[in-house]
Amino acid sequence: MNRLKNKIAIVTGGNSGIGAASVKRMAEEGASVLITGQNEQRGSDVVDEIIQSGGAAFFMKQDVGSKDGWKEILEACQTRYGVPDILFNNAGVSLAKPVTKITPDEVYWILKTNVSGTFLGIQTIISALRDAGKSGSIINNASIFGLVGSPFQSIYSASKGAVLALTRSVAIECAQMKDGIRVNSIVPGSIWTPIFTKESPDGGKSLIDVAGNEKNAKDLIAQHTPLNKVGEPNDIAHAVVYLASDESQFVTGTEIIIDGGVTAH
């Protein structure tokens, strides 16, 4: 408890999956959290849960790829809680499709959300922190597919590789500016979230459709994971709390891989 006491956080895509688990853990540790995302009902459900547990949170609908949208998010955060200390750039979209079938619109959608969205978040919060003379922690959600190849995930992999590269360069830039802002990536393997249950935008099948049911889908992932199980959103949320807190004050420009051993194999 209280590892994030008096800290203010913005979590994009905090209304679902990894983001929702992370905002709940952050609130348990004392942070006040602005949750953003696309689905207002899910956002309000997460806020209700946090407030009922005695935490502080509110939700705003956001498209992370919009620069104007980021201005509104920052202003709302400053009005309600103050200048944010923590940004978890978590929002992301995936696409499972053969490389020859991916359309220019899909390339734009993935890069706009996963890369531009992360960049705009970084740019917005660094400007605000420097203006306020505050230090801070930025955490970017990448993927093991930014480290290793994955068939049918080419543009998603490219976007997550970009998140890792962006993290390292901005971290070193901040260190050179001596602004006290740390920037790190989280690198999840397969974590059981709604990302696995959605149909792909081209009408393709979700993993559950391919495997037959949820149990078979989880078994399929476990078979390809040295620890022989699927990750849970809290596996990521615990690491996010660590990177957000002052416990990680000597950690910047790096990535924490949480994948059940997949990339070590």
Using CB under 6 A as the criterion, which residues of the chain lie in contact with ligand NAD when the complex forms? Answer: 12-13, 15-19, 36-39, 62-65, 90-94, 113, 117, 141, 143, 188, 190-191, 193-195
* Of residues 37 and 136, the one with the C-beta less far from ligand NAD: 37
* Residue owning tokens 């705009």: 120
Of 135 and 263, which has the nearer Cβ to ligand NAD?
263
Distance CA 264, CA 114 (A): 25
CB of 3 to ligand NAD, least distance (A): 22
What's the closest the beta carbon of residue 106 comes to ligand NAD, in angstroms?
A: 13
Handedness of CA 186, 189, 192, 196 (dihedral sign): positive
Query: Catalytic one among 81, 108, 156, 242?
Result: 156
Q: Which is nearer to ligand NAD, 84 or 117 (CB)?
A: 117
* Shortest separation between residue 75's beta carbon and ligand NAD, angstroms: 17
Residue 71 DSSP SS3: helix
**What single string gives the DSSP state of each residue in 72-137?**
HHHHHHHHHT-S-SEEEE---------GGG--HHHHHHHIIIIIIHHHHHHHHHHHHHHHHT--EE
Taking the complex as a whole, how short is the minimal distance between the CB of residue 61 and ligand NAD, in angstroms? 8
Q: Is position 81 annotated as part of the catalytic site? A: no
Nearer to ligand NAD, 177 or 210 (CB): 210
Where are the strands (E) in the chain, listed by range? 8-11, 32-37, 56-61, 86-89, 136-141, 181-188, 255-258
Catalytic positions = 156
